[in-house]
Amino acid sequence: MKDTDGTERPMWRTRWSAPATFSGDRAHPPVLLVFNPIGERNPARTIARLHELTRHLWQGERAEGFHDYDGKIPIIATSLKKLREHGPTGPAFLRLGRTHLQPLRDAIGNPRREAAQARAREAARARQEEYQAQVRRAAQEQAAKQAAEAAREAAQREARRPACASCGTRCTDERWEAAEKTNWGVPVDPHPQLCDGCKHQAVAATQEADRPEPLPDWAKQTDFLRYPRRPRCTECKAVNRTGWGPVPMEARPTLCGDCDQQEREGIEQSQIELGWTGRSQEQEQALPEQKAEGRWFSRFRR
């Protein structure tokens, strides 16, 4: 018949809703047969006959440790005597296909299957726990391996870490990195073999050595600073003020002013003593007479 949603279903499905099972079996409503042994009919023979005629309705398929009753109808038989003896909750029910009496819930259900499924779930849980333990052990081993590898690389790095050539102290990571920096293949650090402290001392010593010596008092004058290569007098070794820079060339540029003055006075004194005017007698006679009048270059027109 059609159900309320218009779908074709067996009529008993419209009157009895099968509960959802863990295994997903297509549950059918159980059929309970209660016999009252009164009269000549033997209930045992009736149950045996019913057992054979309905086998295709209740017989399950054998599985590992249980029977699968998917799509089958559970048929249970009992008697009033058994119900009086054990009560409705006692072992007074026999499911067709089984050989022992069970409580009603066990007769309707499939306890062997539930037990097998519980064992399977427990085994799956144990396997999952074992797998998780293996994963944890593998992770721990990998972490230990990585830690050992990191320690080995750190030891190798420490072995390669340069030491200061002056004090022997191991360089820090920042100092090591700065010492290895290059610019187009040329080292940037002038003292890559020294630590920071020794480098500062070396730089300070280099700057102190490169510092020029203090100038003497005579060189501190601004006139001399303009010409650092001003020559010295060949006599007194003093800086020659003449014959250098903007001063016109003199007769004795290699002498300073004092030495030049002394030299000039000595020459004049010698001329006075010798009576020499600087021109010979022939030169005096050869000089042409100059007219008092006229320009200075009139003597060239004679």
pLDDT tens digits, the chain, 302 residues: what are they?
Answer: 887 888 887 787 777 776 655 555 667 888 999 988 777 777 778 888 888 999 999 888 888 878 888 878 899 999 898 999 998 899 999 999 888 899 998 898 888 888 888 888 999 999 999 999 999 999 999 999 999 999 999 999 888 888 888 888 888 888 888 888 877 777 778 888 888 888 888 888 887 777 777 766 665 655 544 555 566 666 676 655 554 555 455 566 666 777 777 777 777 777 777 665 555 455 555 545 544 444 444 444 44
Are the C-beta atoms of 68 and 113 separated by less than 8 Å? yes
Question: φ, ψ for residue 250 (rounded to 5)?
Answer: -115, 180
Q: Let me know: does 113 contact 123? Beta carbons within 8 Å.
A: no
Residue 33: strand pairing partners: 77
Q: Tell me, what's the pLDDT at 176?
A: 81
Instruction: Output the pLDDT for position 98.
Output: 87
Determine the pLDDT at residue 138.
95
What pLDDT, on the 0 to 100 scale, is given for residue 282?
52
Tell me how far apart the alpha carbons of residues 68 and 293 are, in angstroms, rounded to a whole number: 163
Using the Cα atoms of residue 101, residue 102, residue 104 and residue 107 in order, give the sign of their dihedral. negative
Q: Look at residue 221 in the predicted model and tell me its pLDDT.
A: 59
How confident is the model at residue 19, as a pLDDT? 62
- Single-letter code of the amino acid located at 173: D
Give the 3-state DSSP-derived string for the chain, with helices as H, strands as E and coil as C: CECCCCCECCHHHHHCCCCCCCCCCCCCCCEEEEECCCCCCCHHHHHHHHHHHCHHHHCCEECCCCEECCCCCCEEEEEHHHHHHHCCCCCCEEECCCCCCECHHHHHCCHHHHHHHHHHHHHHHHHHHHHHHHHHHHHHHHHHHHHHHHHHHHHHHHHHCCECCCCCCECCHHHHHHHHCEECCEECCCCCCCCHHHHHHHHHHHHHHHCCCCCCCHHHCHHHHCCCCCCECCCCCCECCCCCCCCCCCCCCCCCHHHHHHHHHHHHHHHHHHCCCCCCHHHHHHCCCCCCCCCHHHHHHC
User: pLDDT value at position 258?
Assistant: 75
Return the pLDDT at 218: 60
Q: What is the pLDDT of residue 302?
A: 46
Query: What's the pLDDT score for residue 101?
Result: 93
Read off the pTM.
Answer: 0.45
